[in-house]
Amino acid sequence: MTYQNTLAFATQLDEQDPLKGFQSKFLVPKHKGKDAIYFCGNSLGLQPATAQQYVSGIFNNWKELAIEGFFAGDVPWLGYHKKLTRTLSGIVGAKSEEITIMNSLTVNLHLLMVSFYKPTQKCFKIIMEGGAFPSDRYALKSQARFHGHDPEKAIIEIFPRDGEFTLRTEDIVETINKHADDLALVLFGGINYYTGQFFDLEAITKAAHKAGAYAGFDLAHAAGNVVLNLHDWDVDFACWCSYKYMNSGPGGISGIFVNEKHFSDKTLSRFEGWWGYREDERFLMPPDFKPEQGAAGWQLSTSPIMLLALHKAALDIFELAGGIIPLRAKSEQLTAYLEFLINEINEKKNDELFKIITPKNKQDRGSQLSIVCKQNAKAIFNYLTDNGVIGDWREPNVIRLAPVPLYNSFKQVFEVGRILRASVD
């Protein structure tokens, strides 16, 4: 597509957009009495307009039914999480039985490493991306220490080459091959939170398996953002949060994926809890644990129904939109249009005032551009904020802007470009 830096062009794209009515399904923060331009969905998605209604329904059932709410009402609580797995399976590219909804992201990361980080004296190393979100590193370091290994020796971080901002797949694969003799686990993010780089999860998984290691992924910035095919890529496990691109509320409930090939593996350890017991015998209260078939067997505690209701409100909108495929198509256009406008500012100023460090290839990025501001970075970010643009600031000089297809428009992208241009003028 040939983009134009005009309001008429942006308006035309919005008129042609099959998702143009979806912004009304979300509650947008106000700035000086008008809707703000919210480009921060990579940190926290907007509230679905139906969220309070869904949660109020749970409150009402609690009031009217009390304990019977687990078995009665429109959506009995006992199997509430199952109402969401079909939609989620399409979002992450899995079979329904390979996913379940539980806990929060880092809790699930630890629980999955109980099963898939099985270090020995010989094979104990973990490979991860350098510059991953700190929580991942904290989790991996603590897991290494828990198993009696020095994190400085156990954890191998892969950083971009000198002068580059993103990782090359061949460097990741080469590092995996180099450490094949003592490697236990490869644990990457799906998308790097800082640069917006979407990693080649299939290639990483193949390299990990060739080295005899498990492959797992933290999909916090990927789930609901890009097209994933966890089952077909033969990923061993993954987990994600729901409060970014899936708009399910701050601290929203997490989800996990466990490849079906591991369901009957008796050598895998796991922590056990009542909610992971076989549902058909759960209320017999037997003393010995029998896991529910599938990823649900990794559950521990009773589902938090309020959080599930928020998640359902958001996922129902995904269903109305037709799933991740049309959302991804629009997000690629939104991001490309923003990229065009930023590059045009640089061209007119004859200087790279804004350096985009997110990969240029649309297959290698999600709905995000990370921009290094060469001059007056914080002042430019404040100028955006003062003019009603909500983005994200990262030290020392990076602004992250994430146009989300469900609630952002091409006219908003045009307006952000105009404000950025005004900030340097």
Query: In this structure, are residues 336 and 1 in contact, taking their beta carbons and an 8 Å threshold?
Result: yes
Q: Which amino acid is at 101?
A: I
**Which residue, among 29, 10, 27, 6, has the nearest Cα to 385 in the 3D structure?**
29
Q: How far is CA 330 from CA 134, 308, 335, in A?
A: 30, 27, 9
Query: What are the two backbone dihedrals, phi and then psi, of residue 401, each rounded to the nearest 5 degrees?
Result: -125, 125
Q: How far apart are CA 413 and CA 373, in angstroms?
A: 18
In the chain the first and final C-alpha atoms are separated, in Å, by 28
Query: In this structure, are residues 321 and 91 in contact, taking their beta carbons and an 8 Å threshold?
Result: no
Res 74 pLDDT > 90: no
Question: What are the structural domain ranges in the chain?
Answer: 7-48+324-424, 81-302
Q: Is the dihedral of CA 325, 328, 333, 336 positive or negative?
A: negative
Segment (H or E) for 156: strand 155-158
pTM of the predicted protein model: 0.96
Res 340 pLDDT > 90: yes
Res 41 pLDDT > 90: yes
Q: Strand, helix or coil at 167?
A: coil
Q: Helices marked H in 17-99 — which ranges?
A: 51-65, 82-92
Q: Give the tens place of pLDDT for each residue, 228-253.
A: 999 999 999 999 999 999 999 999 99
Question: In DSSP terms, which residues pair with 369 in a beta bridge?
Answer: 401
Per-residue confidence band for 283, with pLDDT thresholds at 50, 70 and 90: confident
Residue located via tokens 């916090």: 220
Instruction: Please tell me the predicted confidence (pLDDT) of residue 75.
Output: 87
Q: How many residues belong to the chain?
A: 425
Architecture of the domain spanning 81-302 = 3-Layer(aba) Sandwich (3.40)
Res 162 pLDDT > 90: yes
Q: Give the tens place of pLDDT for each residue, 187-219.
A: 999 999 999 999 999 999 999 999 999 999 999
Per-residue confidence band for 328, with pLDDT thresholds at 50, 70 and 90: very high
Instruction: Please tell me the class of the 7-48+324-424 domain.
Output: alpha beta
- For the chain, what percent of residues have pLDDT higher than 90? 95
Q: How many CB atoms lie within 10 A of CB 367?
A: 29
Q: How far apart are CA 52 and CA 291, in angstroms?
A: 34
Q: How many CB atoms lie within 10 A of CB 138?
A: 12
**Which residue, among 51, 102, 41, 90, has the nearest Cα to 240 in the 3D structure?**
102
Per-residue confidence band for 1, with pLDDT thresholds at 50, 70 and 90: confident
Q: How far apart are CA 218 and CA 328, in angstroms?
A: 19
Tokens in use for 290?
Answer: 């029998």
Q: Give mean pLDDT, residues 314-323.
A: 98
81-302 has the same fold as 7-48+324-424: no
Q: How far is CA 173 from CA 57, 152, 159, 167, 168, in A?
A: 49, 21, 13, 11, 9
Q: Give the tens place of pLDDT for each residue, 294-305.
A: 999 999 999 999
Q: Which residues contact 375 (CB under 8 A, 6 or more apart)?
A: 353, 424
Instruction: Please tell me the predicted confidence (pLDDT) of residue 276.
Output: 94
Q: How far apart are CA 290 and CA 119, in angstroms?
A: 25
Tell me: cis bond preceding 405? Omega within 30 of 0 counts.
Answer: no
Residue located via tokens 């290494």: 144
Instruction: Please tell me the predicted confidence (pLDDT) of residue 253.
Output: 97
Q: Is the dihedral of CA 164, 169, 172, 178 positive or negative?
A: negative
